[in-house]
Amino acid sequence: MSDGELLKVHMLGEFSLTLGPKTINDQSNRSKKVWTLLEYLIAFRDREISQNDLIDLLWPDGETINPAGTLKTLLHRARAAISELGFCGGKELVVSLRGTYAWNTGVPMEVDADLFDAACRAAGTAEDREEKLDAMFRAVSLYRGDFLPRSAAETWVVPISAYYHAQYLKIVHETLTLLNAENRSDEIISICQKAVVIDPYDESLHQALILALAETGQQQAALQHYEYVTELFFKQFGVTPSPELTSLYREIVRTNNELETDLNVIKQDLAESTRKPGAFFCEYEFFKDIYNLSSRSCARSGQVIQIALITVTGSGGEPLPQKALNQAMDHLNEIVACSLRRGDVFCRYSVPQFLLMLPSSNFEDGDMVLRRILRNYRKKYPKADVALHYKILPLDPEY
């Protein structure tokens, strides 16, 4: 190691050590315990760690016959890994002190987790707005993922990871608030696209991303992201979109089109949207609009339209586990689409339910359609341990 060279340690999003052009990381095929040992020594580099503490860390169930000897072998392997960076056998960094082991803090180094922490503190104390934003941007860019993700199940990693994750979400939301006040939508998109990968279940991040996409004229991308989020929350948590998210969706739909004076262009765009085979699947918000339009049409024409609800349960009527329900709903979506006419409309009403609109159908015709759907489902998925229940009612005309 040459004088003045800085050892760079990444612990957010990965574990790696870099010295000049050389890098070692936890993606290599070395023993997981080698990396755990190095991670622990660096994470707690301000203390000397006893041999017994390291043994308890690495073999908590006492699954090794000679723990002291095995630990020495593991330390040798850890030092060998470090030596690839240019250290003399790794002894410069992992040192032994009176029966304890420690990381040599005398070696110049920087740790991304420390830099992230410092940036968060700087953002919290900055009085100047630009200085505050600079610190926030620095913190957001430093957080490339959760703390030691490949060791996330280790009991000592859990609280540290939770701390940094909470700090990251806090700084992201504060940054978005400042950027939103200045209408800096492009920067909001950039931050949110990264943040929703790190924390895909923070709905407010998805809302901020969808809104920013819409504000920059990317309505189609905004609608696609809404559909992605809806499906994600359906499948992971079995919940429907929040009122705030659906309200945002409706607003984007209203402003989706730009000024166009050539009717042929509009006609072609409309034609392209009708080319998909099978029945028309749409979002529930769209379904409500179609329902209201059909209700008015029925009042004038006297046409009869049936509304049907299909509910998926276990074979005994009990709610299905989420994974089984996701699979059943995917299968049912496919069956409904190909069992209905192209002029029919259906949507996902709730986590285990589809809502169907059957134009020009009396009760008997509608019942026959629903029985055909159930029959087609059983024919294609005969081993599915689910029950399909349906109800049919006529649409009420709006006079």
Q: What's 329's domain CATH number?
A: 3.30.70.270
- Order the strands of the 345-350 sheet from edge to edge: 280-282, 345-350, 353-359, 305-314, 386-394
- Cβ atoms < 10 Å from Cβ of 23: 13
**Model confidence pLDDT, tens digit, residues 179-228:** 999 999 999 999 999 999 999 999 999 999 999 999 998 988 998 999 89
Mean pLDDT for all residues in the chain: 87
pLDDT digits (tens, 9 = 90+) for 40-98: 999 999 999 999 999 888 888 767 778 888 888 998 898 888 888 887 545 578 888 77
Select from 111, 146, 169 the last residue of a domain.
Answer: 111
Q: Does the residue 144 lie in any domain?
A: no
pLDDT score for 260: 47
Domain hosting 318: range is 272-394
Is residue 375 in a domain? Answer: yes
Task: Check pLDDT > 60 for residue 2.
Answer: no
Question: Helices (H) and strands (E) in the chain — how many of each?
Answer: 14, 12
Percent of the chain at pLDDT above 70? 90
Residue 358 lies in a domain: yes
Q: Output the domain CATH number for residue 38.
A: 1.10.10.10
The answer to whether residue 37 scores a pLDDT higher than 90 is yes
Q: Are 309 and 390 in contact (CB under 8 A)?
A: yes
Helix 32-43 and helix 67-83, axial crossing angle in degrees, nearest 10: 80
Given this model, what pLDDT does residue 253 score?
77
Q: What is the mean pLDDT of residues 354-377?
A: 90
pLDDT of 272 above 70? no
> Residue 102, SS3?
strand
Answer with the one of 91, 111, 131 that is the final residue of a domain. 111
Write down which residue in 67, 88, 111 finishes a domain: 111
If one counts the domains in the chain, the total is: 2
Mean pLDDT is lowest, of 24-33, 82-91, 141-150, 367-376, for: 82-91
Q: With respect to residue 161, please indicate whether it lies within any of the assigned structural domains.
A: no
Range with the poorest average pLDDT among 273-277, 294-298, 357-361, 365-369: 273-277
